[in-house]
Structure 1
Amino acid sequence: MREPVDLADRLALFSEHWSPKVVARLNDYEIKVVKIKGEVVWHDHADTDELFLVIEGHLRIQLRDPDERNITLGPGQLYVVPRGVEHCPVAEGDVAAMLIEPAGTLNTGAAGGDLTAAYDDSLLDPSADDD
């Protein structure tokens, strides 16, 4: 990467919810920004943890694991959903968040559904892949 990534600037470039956009890569991981409103499907990621970092708004992550509780995050707070834990993010209002997860991770895991987002790296700095 040749320039810093301004998350607010990248978030201002789109309006759709539940459509993560890749803004950077870190080894085999992708850093994504996403706008969230409402509720996505219950799902898990069998092979990976998933990091949520709230930038704006408040996000509740419902967890089905009996040893866990629901997590509420505000701006500047993050939570890592452990691999295999079924979860359902919910936003009462508009939320902007950053996700860190392995490249190719689907936002709805194997659950699928209408809110499964297509892969989108259109906000990735084109110089990020230069040597």
Structure 2
Amino acid sequence: MSITEVPGPVSIGERLSRFTELWSQKRIAAVNDYEVKVAKLKGEFVWHTHEDTDELLMVVSGRLTVQFRKGDVVLDPGELVVVPRGVEHRTVAAEETAILLLEPAGVLNTGDAGGAMTRAAEALD
């Protein structure tokens, strides 16, 4: 297999600087059938489950609490957690927090919960 051009680096910080809206996932790259996304969060998200897939959440800046029914995980910049498929969770950020997500293409941000916070990921290429 050959490539037609050499892929360039993707600056997470530069991509995050392109938008201000909260709770809106922006697709910055793809890996096979997975999307690499960034988002800015502040406040509480909805409790939800992704029945068919795990979800990787990594903090770029700020501080994120991932709440589970059996306890919380607090993440600082450079830390990540993988939420196992089928596990109910929600994210909470007391301050504006930037995250990187990795999950299969087409996964809804609110999983099975739906509602007003449901948004499809937007390309930010």
TM-score relative to the length of structure 2? 0.93
Q: Does 1:40 align with 2:45?
A: yes
Residue among 100, 103, 110 paired with 2:102: 100
RMSD: 1.0
CA distance in 2, matches of 1:77, 1:119: 22
Unaligned runs of 5+ residues in structure 2 are 1-5
Unaligned runs of 5+ residues in structure 1 are 125-131
TM-score relative to the length of structure 1? 0.88
- 1:63-85 per-position Cα deviation (integer Å, ceiling 9, x unaligned): 02x4xx31000000000000000
| Pairwise CA distance, 1:2 | 2.2
Residue among 73, 79, 82 paired with 1:80: 82
Q: 1:28 maps to what in 2?
A: 33
Structure number with higher helix proportion: 1
Structure number with higher strand proportion: 2
Q: How many residues align?
A: 120
CA distance in 1, matches of 2:45, 2:116: 9
Q: Does the residue aligned with 1:100 lie in a helix, a strand or coil? A: strand
CA distance in 2, matches of 1:119, 1:5: 17
Q: Does 1:7 align with 2:12?
A: yes
CA distance in 1, matches of 2:36, 2:7: 16
| Pairwise CA distance, 1:114 | 1.2
Q: Does 1:50 align with 2:55?
A: yes
Kindly report structure 1 stretches of 4+ aligned residues shifted beyond 2 Å.
none
